[in-house]
Amino acid sequence: MSLINFFKKKEVVEERFSEIHTVLDSSFSRVKTDMEKVGKWIEHLDDHKDNHNKRLNELDHRLKILESKLIEQNHIPIEENHSKIERVQSFNRSVQPIMNVQKIDELTPAQKQVVGLLVYSEEPLSYNNISNKLKINIVTVRRHINDIKRAGFEIKERVSVKSRRKVFFVEDSVRNSILKTSES
C-alpha cells in the first residue's frame, strides 16, 4: 500500500509542479508584454520630447530674428534694451519723490496706455475703471500700476468718497509736462 501511495503522491507532485510551471510561464509572459508596452510609451514620449525641442529651438531662433530686427529699427543696443526691462520689472520701490518725464520712455506699451488713460482722464480712475476702458484684467491693471510706480513715474492715489475704493490720477504739473513732450 505504501508503494501505491508513493506513486499517487508522485503524480500529485508532478501535477502541482506542472500547474506552478504554467502559472509562472504566463506571469513572465505578462511581465514581458507589460515591459514592451512601457518601452513603446518611452519611445513615444521621447519622440514628443524631440519634437517639442525642435519647435522650441525654432521659436527661439525666430524670436532672436525679431529682436534683432526691432533693435535695428529702433537703433537700440541690446544691453540698453535689456536694462530698461530689468528696471521696470525690479521690485525695489523708487525713492524719487518727484516724477521725471523721461521715465515714461522706460515703460512698456501697455504701461504707457495706463499712463495715457490717467493723463487724458478728467477724473481719478479706479482699478475697475481702467480695466474696463482698456479691456484688460483688473489684476493686470494692478500689476501695471505697481510697475509704473517702481519705474519712478509718479501716480497719485487716494480713496474715493463715493465708492470707498482707491482711485489713481496724475497731477496737473506732470500731465502738462507729458502733454508738452508729446506735442514736440
Q: Which residues pair with 157 in a beta bridge?
A: 168
- Span 56-95, pLDDT tens digits: 888 888 888 888 877 777 655 444 444 344 333 334 434 3
Q: What is the pLDDT of residue 35?
A: 92
- What's the CA gap between 96 and 119, in Å, rounded? 20
Residue 115's nearest CA partner among 44, 174, 159 is 174
Residue ranges in the chain modelled with pLDDT below 70: 1-7, 74-103, 182-184
Q: Are 174 and 167 in contact (CB under 8 A)?
A: no
| Per-residue confidence (pLDDT) for residue 4, from 0 to 100 | 66
pLDDT at 182 (0 to 100): 65
What is this structure's pTM? 0.44
Q: Which residues share a beta bridge with 159? A: 166
Alpha-carbon distance of 38 to 4, in angstroms, equals 51
Q: Is 18 helix (H, G, I), strand (E, B) or coil?
A: helix
Rg (CA), the chain: 36
Q: Which CATH class is domain 94-183?
A: mainly alpha
